[in-house]
Structure 1
Amino acid sequence: MPSQANYQKVEMLREKIKGAQAVFVCEYRGLTVEKITKLRAQIRGAGGEMTVAKNTLMSIALKEEGFPVPEGLMSGPNGFTAVHGDPAAVAKVLKDFAKEKGNEALIIKGGILGDKILDVKQLLALADLPSREVLLAQVVGTMAAPIRGLVTVLSGPARGLVTCLSQIKDQKEKAA
């Protein structure tokens, strides 16, 4: 029979992942407390929260919150990162931290994005995406390009008329 403490831990985990857009799974074995603290601070800055929990308790919390459970990732000492902001930004933080010299002990295993289970390659591809703001700026730029072209075409005759009138004025000034 599960203890009351486990029920409380599952409830705490549910609160942390409630409303999350993604949950990433990493193995942290071999990282010092100082490095994990630094990683957690970087993740918080990107809109996520890293929690170390037992795999069985996190599996229960994920099921209860409607997330698929990535059974293949639920082994070993795992850190679970709940993302409440931009998933690409948090994935980038994890990827960059794991690349730094001395942080090779952080092993990115995969995660959950919405209702899809991501493997390592997919999560790293997500990390390579530009941030949400950059993508929105690209969309707005793409939408504005035809309008900008139309304005240029429509202003052409007026610009030509002004240039022609300016040349006529210059010729009349020379003749006078």
Structure 2
Amino acid sequence: MVLIVAVDDKFGIGREGNLLTYIPEDLAYFKEMTLNKTIVIGRKTLESFKNGVPLPQRQHIVMTRTKTYEHPRITTVSSVEQLLKTVKAYNPEEVFVSGGGNIYALLLPYCHKAYVTMIEADLKADTFMPDLRLHKEWRCTEEGPWLETPDFRYRHTTWVRAPL
């Protein structure tokens, strides 16, 4: 599986149930990367989408502890084991772990690559993902150019997990 996320300086990913900031170009990047692919998200992340509706042209696998949770257009799983069985038939390059914080932490050991938009700011997050800079097995292999918004700079990076 592949992880995709936008983080601030402290690897914060969200605040009060929402994205930290809206960068239209980064949302377009997310769309480009995940279109016609599968995203793995938590129930709260799905419910944070506009009207709780799944994103168009993507297959959704939602991890939830609510075993009776049902939603049209999604597959639900309630454990890592069930998820791994479900995604076994998929191309691992086309399964994107896409949030939230608990899902990133839970599934990081099963990901081999991460596309991380690094935002050069402390955006006062209350939700975080594991900081890849602190994990010996993760290496940043690509850094795109710095891009500007009126408030901060950001860039797209690619990280790869190497065996220890």
TM-score (norm 2): 0.31
Larger radius of gyration: 1
Structure (1 or 2) with the greater strand fraction:
2
Structure with the higher fraction of residues in helix conformation: 1
